[in-house]
């Protein structure tokens, strides 16, 4: 398995991974990444200078990914960890920790000093991973993500 930057040819596969995870977990589709208008064009979205989206590829198939981008409606020092979703067959492999680490390193290199994320309350494994990586809970959301169904917010200094 390799971790690499998203390419245009990966758009459909990564969108499918994200939608499949939501369906598998019976997660809300409105007010979450599932309903994001950009979901089918991740390559184009993450081409911006201070953004990156990394995917996990195995035998030519994209099985997961994670991104970093400036947090909308926040200071230029705040980024957001975005769209971290993995297919079941690569969960528990340590790849999530690796890909998040790569994203956070990129963020620091681009001058961000704070990373924000949000998730759903029942995604306990993800929350445990985030805490283990140094993220701390917040009492309220930051920025303007449009993900009003997410009720867990966290930050980490870079």
Q: Output the tens digit of pLDDT for each of the chain's 158 residues.
A: 999 999 999 999 999 999 998 888 777 677 767 677 788 999 999 999 899 999 999 999 999 999 999 998 888 999 999 999 999 999 999 999 999 999 999 999 999 999 999 998 888 889 999 999 999 999 999 987 766 677 899 999 99
CB 23 within 8 A of CB 29: no
In the prediction, which pLDDT does 75 show?
Answer: 81
How far apart, in Å, are the Cα atoms of 110 and each of 99, 107, 154?
17, 5, 20
What's 16's DSSP letter?
Answer: H
What gap in Å lies between CA 135 and CA 90, rounded to an integer?
Answer: 22
Residues 6+ apart with CB under 8 A from 2: 56, 57, 58
In the prediction, which pLDDT does 32 show?
Answer: 65
How far apart, in Å, are the Cα atoms of 109 and each of 2, 106, 136, 138, 146?
22, 5, 21, 25, 27
Domains (range + CATH), the chain: 2-115 (3.40.630.30)
């Amino acid at each position: 398995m390799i971790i690499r930057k998203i390419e245009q040819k990966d758009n459909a596969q990564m969108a499918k991974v994200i939608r499949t995870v939501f369906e598998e977990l019976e997660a809300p589709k409105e007010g979450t990444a599932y309903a994001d208008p950009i979901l089918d064009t991740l390559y184009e979205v993450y081409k911006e200078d201070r953004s990156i989206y990394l995917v996990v590829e195995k035998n030519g198939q994209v099985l997961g990914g994670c991104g970093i981008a400036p947090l909308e409606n926040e200071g230029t020092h705040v980024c957001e960890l975005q769209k971290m979703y993995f297919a079941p067959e690569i969960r528990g492999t340590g790849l999530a920790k690796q890909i998040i680490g790569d994203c956070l390193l990129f963020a620091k290199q681009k001058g961000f000093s704070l990373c924000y994320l949000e998730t759903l309350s029942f995604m306990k494994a993800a929350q445990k991973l985030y805490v283990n990586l140094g993220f701390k809970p917040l009492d309220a959301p930051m920025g303007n993500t449009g993900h009003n169904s997410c009720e867990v917010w966290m930050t980490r200094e870079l």
